[in-house]
Amino acid sequence: MSAREPWARVVIRPAVGADAEAITNFLAAMDRDGLYERHFAHGEAPNRALLERLAKLDGSRRAMYLAVGADGTVIGHAEYVASEESAEFALMVLPAWRGAGIGGELLGALLTGAARAGLAGMHGMIQATNTRAIRLARKLGFHATPGDDRTTVIVSRLCLARSNAESDFASGQRLLPPEPLRHDPDRTPLHRCLGS
């Protein structure tokens, strides 16, 4: 039996402070390339920053979702942090579970959560070589543009109206922003910066 077959028993749910140990184990099980694609850096500092953000979640301006297997193991992680009316997102999935649809479910949960929180848009910065993540974002209606340094791709889209979030998302309707947002590495806490 492959790791992907019990997908029906995977639960996507908001993270809580008590998940710190499970997330630590998840980060320890993540491959080096996956961590670099997520954090844009090697070492333990980005993982510590991610765990510190767990204590600051409010479900509105800062949200984190987990994909949890039947045995309670975290197999996927996604989060967003809002600034003004838009949120920056990032996610990662354990190697054995990639391609099973978990990344799409996590990103969908982020979009629905952001819409419920009244956020107007969502964007993410993806390494240009991470074609699987870029394909996933495009599949979910994100518009992709090259980053300022051409080694990254900025994906962005509008969030769905709060009242229509679940019905429109389920029907596959996607809204595209007129202009993609640009990544500001001095502001965002999700990539490169170790702050909040």
| Residue range 137-163, pLDDT digits in tens | 999 999 999 988 788 899 999 876 443
Domain ranges, ordered by start, for the chain: 7-171
* Interval 159-169 mean pLDDT: 47
Average pLDDT of the residues in 174-186: 38
Tokens of 163: 């009242």
Q: φ and ψ at 9, to 5 degrees? A: -95, 5
Q: How far apart are CA 29 and CA 110, in angstroms?
A: 23
Residue that wins the pLDDT comparison between 62 and 38: 62
Q: What is the rounded distance in angstroms from the CA atom of residue 112 to the CA atom of residue 107?
A: 9
The answer to which of 59-68, 72-81, 112-121, 165-174 has the lowest mean pLDDT is 165-174
Give the CA angle between residues 79, 7, 161 to the nearest 5°.
40
pLDDT at 64: 94
Q: List pLDDT tens digits, range 50-103.
A: 888 888 999 899 999 999 998 899 999 999 999 888 999 999 999 999 888 999
Residues 6 or more apart whose CB falls under 8 angstroms from that of 13 comprise 65, 66, 68
Fold for the domain defined by 7-171: Aminopeptidase (3.40.630)
Which among 49, 53, 55, 52 has a CA at the least distance from the CA of 80? 53
The three-class DSSP label of residue 160 is coil
Say what the pTM is.
0.77
Which residue type sits at 85? Answer: E
b/e 34-44 (16+ beta carbons within 10 angstroms → b): bbbbbbbeeee
Percent of the chain with pLDDT over 90: 47
Q: What's the mean pLDDT in 115-131?
A: 91
35-40 long-range contacts, Cβ below 8 Å, gap at least 24?
A: 35/92, 37/92, 37/126, 37/127, 37/130, 37/133, 38/90, 38/91, 38/92, 39/191, 40/125, 40/127, 40/191, 40/192
